[in-house]
Amino acid sequence: MDEFRNGVWVRREYCGMLPGSEGYALLPLERVPRWGALIENFPRNLTRNIQIALSYFREAITERRDWKHSKAMLSAAIAFESLLGENVKSEITFRLSQRGAILTSAGEGAELVFKTLRKLYSIRSKLVHEGKSVDKQSVVRMEQFLMRAIPSMAALVIKAGSARRAVELLERAPFVRDEILCGVSEGDPVHHWWASVNLVETPDWVIQ
């Protein structure tokens, strides 16, 4: 946290979110109100699953920065599972990927997200079961997905009224797509800030 003192910005205390994050982050003055609004409107009283997802997402970022790509992928996968894995006991890769695609995209884009998530989760499986190494780009893709998925799920829980109802909407979506879910997955970046992360349009995110 910084303080404007005697005409200069002075580092008052470190945020402590990421080891080695003592450097300054530059933010144009015109963007300060927008950032303030994002912080003010970020969902409070997050569900336990979302809190766990946020915690492991943060760990994944730290581990990637330390070039620990395998550990970062495992942390990102745990975040993914915690966020969208409620009551998923079979066909885990398929159902997690389907829920993730439905939550974060729509139309043809959802199919691309679904296919990419399946491939990313298979990388996690090969790491766990075969000890295969993980490349940095795969970790970055998982992190980019979580950047969109975590706030999207938080918003869906609020709009649906409960975490249980939010999961029900995701499960029913292949057959009946509820207006609440459409509002979250198809939100515009102006009124729904999580929609600023468009996975399909993110360079090099889609795995062909």
Please check whether residue 104 is in contact with residue 148, taking contact to mean a CB–CB distance below 8 angstroms: yes
Going by C-beta distance under 8 Å and a sequence separation of 6 or more, which residues neighbour residue 140? 64
55-76 tens-digit pLDDT = 999 999 999 988 999 999 999 9
pLDDT, averaged per 10 consecutive residues of the chain (208 residues), comes to: 58 48 59 71 80 94 92 96 91 94 91 96 93 93 94 90 93 90 77 76 90
* HSE-CB of 33 using CA atoms within 13 angstroms: 1
**Predicted local confidence at residue 27, as pLDDT:** 64
Q: Where are the alpha helices (DSSP H) in the chain?
A: 32-41, 48-65, 69-84, 92-104, 108-130, 136-160, 163-172, 179-185
**Predicted local confidence at residue 79, as pLDDT:** 96
For the question of whether the overall pTM of this predicted structure is more than 0.95, the answer is no
**Predicted local confidence at residue 5, as pLDDT:** 63
**Predicted local confidence at residue 21, as pLDDT:** 46
